[in-house]
Amino acid sequence: MNAQSRSAGAVLVACPQCHSLVRVPEARAGEHPKCPRCKAQILTGEAVALDGASFAAHVERATLPVLVDFWAPWCGPCRMVAPVLERTAALRAAELRLAKVNTDEQPQLAERFGIRSIPTLILFREGRELARQSGAVDAASLSRWLDRSLA
């Protein structure tokens, strides 16, 4: 978190609908805050599909950590890990955002981050890559990896 967010006890989160940045007090993150612009719920615990423009808002400008799943619809391991990611996102809705980048539709993002195999998970905080994992992962392994990476 940046110094301003830390001192205010708040995180910046991009709205999953309009992609506006919203300041959410950390103490109120579990209270289902809404976007002041479009009134959508901010921390839904559901995956957000990203393209080049929305990637900047959610990953580069927001301070809430974002777990980005680089995937493709034809990829068997990607489909296998999707329910694990969805459950993790729901359980950790106030702690991180799950985002998905379809590498077939967003090849420029896949190239930018050197994605060579899918699924690849990259954990970002304030635009910086914290950790990367390629291949399907079970829920327990994912949880341990996130705990280590976010510590």
Among 18, 35, 38, 75, which one carries the catalytic annotation?
75
**What are the Cα distances from residue 95, in Å, to 22, 32, 43, 72, 108?**
15, 13, 9, 26, 28
The pair phi, psi for residue 57, each rounded to 5°, is -65, -50
- What is d(CA 131, CA 133) in angstroms, rounded to the nearest whole number? 7
- What is d(CA 47, CA 102) in angstroms, rounded to the nearest whole number? 12
Query: Is 78 tagged catalytic?
Result: yes
Query: Is 35 tagged catalytic?
Result: no
Report whether CATH 3.40.30.10 matches the domain 45-150: yes
**Which of 4-8, 66-70, 130-134 comes out lowest in average pLDDT?**
4-8
Among 91, 109, 146, smallest CA distance to 133 is for 146
Tell me the per-residue pLDDT of 53-110, one tens digit each, with 9 for 90 and over: 999 999 999 999 999 999 999 999 999 999 999 999 999 998 999 999 999 999 999 9
Among 18, 35, 38, 78, which one carries the catalytic annotation?
78
What global pTM score does this model have?
0.91
pLDDT at 8: 59
**Which of 27-31, 79-83, 128-132 comes out lowest in average pLDDT?**
27-31
Asked if residue 145 has pLDDT above 70, the reply is: yes
